[in-house]
Amino acid sequence: MTRFPLTRMARALMGFGLLASPLAAQTPDPASGAYIATTADCAACHTAKGGKPFAGGYAINSPMGVITSSNITPSKEFGIGSYTLEEFSDAVRKGIRRDGAHLYPAMPYPAYAHMSDADIAALYDYFMQDVAPVETAAPETDLPFPFSQRWAMIGWNALFAGGAPITSDPDQSEAWNRGRYLVQGPAHCGTCHTPRNLLMGSKTADLMAGGDVGAWYAPNLTPGKGGLSDWSDADLARYLKTGIATHGRASGPMAEAVEYSLQHLSDTDIDAMVTYLRSLPARDSDLSPAAGQATDAAFAPWEHSANRTGHRLAKDAGGAELYETACASCHGLSGDGSKDGTYPALKGNVTLENGQSANLVSTILHGVTRETEGKHTLMPGFGPDSLVQKLDDAQIARLASYASMTFGDTGQTVTADEVKTLRTGGPVAPLVRLAAPQIMIGVALVVLLVLVLLVVWLIRRRR
Ligand code: HEC
Ligand code: HEC
Ligand code: HEC
């Protein structure tokens, strides 16, 4: 790895992901703090939309109330300017603030706990020296009682956090070790891809076996059923680097992970992650059995009048008719996509597979937006705030059922109620922020448990 001289400004921007293309052409230094900040995607949560880099103020909606990310610029008054390296390390890896208060796990410290001392030190130097201080306070998080009791996090942490930095396994290759470090540590893939238990702690025995993320499903990455056994190494690497693979494209939160973090990583690091993912123990996805027949599956749109300019949709239009009107212009009447691949084929696409209906519905609702190497990929959304065409829940359900039946390998039907649940599954906030509200439900349960135990103890003591 060659070190390249970077101006202070350029390094700050790189961490922010703004200098993507000029730097992507060079070999990034994996030991630099800016690179580590990109790998860990600190900007995703600590930079508000349109706000100054790392000045915080991004609001994460949780069922308990709004949690706001902190100003982590080196401002002494409003940021982390007074943090020592040790205090910084405790905040990032243990979720403990400088004043001793516990952070809510909307900050992914359970994954960052696996980061090395050297990377934390480089990250600290980067924030202290290369990030511009912003002298404004981020709004304070003020959850209602009992969630205001930050000490209650001790209980949740004892159960689900507190990992140690990952040490190398001498029996494995350098690439495998690097890949495991990135996947489990800074790149925190498991925050979304590892299933969670009732208290929303990660089920570590089912590492990367697939998990729900708000209105999306982060698929099984193991070689098991419903996993990645039919993806080639090259395909997987291309997906991580560009969001495009033979059988699928990155949408929703994964598109953001690619755009803000993964596309900026070195090819060596991408290949290392692929090497590690290949070695995961196989876990089968818990797929619901294919549901019944969609009513209008027999309708074959390509046998239908192809040119329907000016055709107006009836409210109760069937799935095929909806597809022809809203989707066929880009994805083709027979779902083959465009020759050059700009518009992906829906035939054989992972999003049409059993178990991925949440991703299909969310893609129809919100469309796709992803910027890689300066090129913007865009599919319009068809939800209630669509600028192109608004479809209601029942129409989207019929459309999704039709697409699954016709282009997918397992006939799966989607109901209007399912569409409604996904549509109201919170605004499509970027990245891991989507997982935070769900984690907070677990925190709430632990807080309640601790309070119940406290009351029981007090009553007993009185006796
Ligand atoms: C998924 C969103 C998310 C990501 C990614 C994230 N953070 Fe945070 N972080 C938060 C939130 C939310 C808080 C405030 C939590 C609270 O108030 O309990 C926070 C708090 C902090 C604090 C405590 C500051 C203080 O005094 O309040 C530090 C330091 C910090 N983050 C550093 C980082 C660094 C460094 C990274 C990248 C390695 C990072 N964060 C990535 C969401 C995130
Ligand atoms: C913020 C949550 C989140 C994070 C973090 C995340 N992913 Fe994903 N990932 C998703 C979602 C959601 C999908 C499904 C996207 C779609 O349908 O387009 C996905 C899709 C994928 C796929 C395609 C699998 C398939 O069968 O369609 C791969 C491969 C993948 N992610 C790998 C990774 C790796 C490796 C990391 C860490 C470097 C990672 N992801 C981090 C949420 C996430
Ligand atoms: C204006 C063109 C256009 C229209 C109309 C359109 N799409 Fe798309 N679609 C795209 C583009 C572009 C992508 C993203 C390609 C990428 O991510 O590289 C996409 C992606 C998708 C994906 C995700 C594929 C994957 O691999 O993850 C699905 C599913 C999908 N579209 C279904 C539909 C459905 C159903 C409709 C009709 C409601 C529709 N599209 C309408 C252009 C369009």
CA quadruple 186, 191, 197, 199: dihedral positive or negative? positive
pLDDT of residue 71: 97
DSSP-based helix, strand, coil % in the chain, nearest 5? 45, 5, 50
Residue to mutate (ligand 3; options 323, 330, 382; most atoms within 8 A of CB): 330
The confidence score (pLDDT) of residue 67 equals 87
Torsion angles phi and psi, residue 62, rounded to 5: -125, 165
Which ligand minimizes its atom distance to the CA of 425?
2
Residue in 238, 258, 331 to alter for ligand 3 test, most ligand atoms within 8 A of Cβ: 331
Q: How far apart are alpha carbons 41 and 352 in whole angstroms?
A: 29
Q: Whose CA is nearest to atom 40 of ligand 1?
A: 42
Indicate the CATH number of 301-425 among 1.10.3720.10, 3.40.190.10, 1.10.760.10, 1.50.10.20.
1.10.760.10
At 16 the pLDDT is 38
Confidence at residue 307, expressed as pLDDT on a 0 to 100 scale: 37
Name the β-bridge partners of 61: 66
Which helix (DSSP H) or strand (DSSP E) does residue 213 occupy? strand 211-213
Pocket flag, ligand 2, residue 350 (CB < 6 Å):
yes
Ligand 1 centroid, distance to 85 Cα (angstroms): 15
Q: What is the pLDDT of residues 64-98, one digit of tens each?
A: 778 899 999 999 999 999 999 999 999 999 999 99
Give the whole-angstrom CA distance, residue 379 versus residue 368: 5
Counting as low any pLDDT under 50, the low residues of the chain are 1-25, 289-310, 426-432
Non-local (6+) Cβ contacts of 291 within 8 A are: 411, 412, 413
Residue spans of the domains in the chain: they are 8-278, 301-425
Tens of pLDDT, residue by residue over 25-41, are: 456 788 899 999 999 99
Predicted structure pTM score:
0.87
**What does the pLDDT read at residue 282?**
95
SS3 for 41?
Answer: coil
In this predicted model, what pLDDT tens digit does every residue of 160-198 receive, in sequence order? Answer: 888 899 999 999 999 999 999 999 999 999 988 998 887
Residues in the chain: 463
221, 189 in Cβ contact below 8 A?
yes
Q: Please give the pLDDT value at position 20.
A: 39
